[in-house]
């Protein structure tokens, strides 16, 4: 699907800070993170919502999400993570994606209120991506 931003990221035609590339999934930093180090994990194939993910891809996809949740904690010295998937409502890109958000006690995240922040520079974003990718090793 040529018009999908996430398909373009998977194809490499849109610049992103990638942290994981597997046979099933591709993961990169959210450009408008809830907290720095917020990762989006997308299926390589265009899949609009979770119900459309082929059954054979469910296990591999969620293993990648699981690995990234652990890597975000280790790589960013986070106390935990928040993992979420929106289906249609609040889904700004109609390509299924899991959010993996680093958490710390007292970080201000309440319920589903998602304040957004920015990276100070492209270099800072790249350093967050590198730390998470290194923790996957």
Structure tokens at 94: 């109609």
The secondary structure of residue 45, as a DSSP letter, is S
Taking the CB of residue 119, how many other CB atoms lie within 10 A of it? 19
Rounded to whole angstroms, how far apart are CA atoms 106 and 88? 30
Half-sphere exposure of 42 (CA within 13 A, CB side): 25
Q: Is 97 a catalytic residue?
A: yes
From 31, 46, 95, 97, the catalytic residue: 97
Catalytic amino acids?
97
């Amino acid at each position: 699907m040529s018009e999908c931003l996430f398909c373009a990221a998977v194809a490499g035609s849109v610049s992103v800070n990638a942290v994981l590339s597997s046979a099933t999934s591709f993961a990169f930093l959210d450009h408008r993170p809830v907290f720095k180090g917020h990762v989006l994990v997308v299926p390589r194939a265009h899949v609009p919502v979770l119900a459309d993910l082929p059954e054979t891809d469910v296990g591999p996809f969620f293993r990648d999400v699981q690995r990234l949740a652990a890597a975000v904690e280790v790589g960013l010295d986070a106390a935990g993570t928040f993992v979420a998937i929106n289906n249609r409502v609040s889904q700004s890109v109609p390509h299924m994606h899991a959010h993996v958000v680093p958490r710390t006690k007292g970080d201000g995240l309440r319920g589903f209120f998602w304040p957004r922040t920015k990276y100070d520079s492209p270099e800072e974003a790249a350093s967050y991506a590198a730390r998470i990718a290194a923790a996957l090793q």
